[in-house]
Amino acid sequence: MNSQRIFVAGSRGMVGSAIIRQLEQDQTCEIITTSKQELDLCNQASVNTFFKQNKVDQIYLAAARVGGIGANSQYPADFIYQNLMIQNNIIHAAHCNDVQKLLFLGSSCIYPKLAQQPIAEAALLTGYLEPTNEPYAIAKIAGIKMCESYNRQYGRDYRSVMPTNLYGIHDNFHPQNSHVVPALIRRIHEAKVANLDDVAIWGTGLPLREFLYVDDMAEACVHIQNLEFSVYQQHITPMMSHINIGTNEEVSILQLAHVIKDVVGYKGQLIFDSTQPDGTPRKLLNSQKLNKLGWNFKIGLKQGLKITYDWFIENENQLRQV
């Protein structure tokens, strides 16, 4: 088999670095990466030039502007603009430079706020989105439809996956802009170090969420990308081609916080601030389509949180802060 030159966009982030770790297990892969300083993915001309200069066989489009409820609420324009520009530039440049295979990574926030649970792929565009992250969700929906459109018009093999809530090593532990797992790990850890009696946590603790360790997600992405087209095609339609990636398991934010408290070894109290937003009340993906395609998760929640916390401790002084 000829070596595959694979470009991982967003290779420095949690998701992209996990995909690289997975791809490195295949000796036939030649992995191509760039930094933000080397290539501005929001610059169309620069992206076009990059693909002209670098012969690429496959793309994993993991680059994105991401963040939690706070960041999405504070920077809605940045979230919709940057994500649209990144994916538009990469997908179009891939087509123009005859890259046949691409995997686009979306987000479970593409689904309606009150979608029937567990959420199947067919729920897309059947209801209103969660307002706190609507700009980000709309960008991701546009990415799915862009892949489908290039497939329909040009016969490309551009696939889309919708991971559930991800966490793991190389996550963003920013005190304001991070997602729930790294935010809780950092907050509870700092309370432990400061010997505080209690920790305040946003919301009621009642929302239900599904969490997937990032290396499991990366394994699922490579599994989907490598499926024979005839097999993949049996499970999608031209206008509903994305596949969910999840565990089919859920926990409340309250339960999650207590598991993290146990992993961190914090002895104080957790106090939930009901004046802060909860977000979507429940979000569990139906991942049966992926299960039928031969993939299931391996790393349980407590095990994954322990790996993540150990990495956080080892890298606390060098953590990404944006």
Q: Which residues are annotated as a binding site for substrate?
A: 187, 202, 209, 278
Phi first, then psi: give them for residue 131, nearest 5 degrees. Answer: -60, -35
The DSSP secondary-structure symbol of 237 reads: B
Whole-angstrom distance, CA of residue 90 vs CA of residue 50? 10
Residues in binding site = 10-16, 105-108, 140, 163-166, 179, 187, 202, 209, 278
Listing DSSP states for 148-177 in one string gives HHHHHHH--EEEEEEE-EEE-TT----TTT
Helical ranges in 39-99 per DSSP H:
44-53, 69-74, 76-96
Active site annotation includes 266: no
Is residue 100 within 8 Å of residue 56, measured between CB atoms? no
Residue 208 host element (H or E): strand 208-209
Considering just the CA atoms, what is the radius of gyration of the chain in Å? Answer: 19
The DSSP secondary-structure symbol of 120 reads: P
- The structure tokens 């309250």 sit at 254
Of 111, 136, 167, 309, the active-site residue reads 136
Residues taking part in catalysis: 136
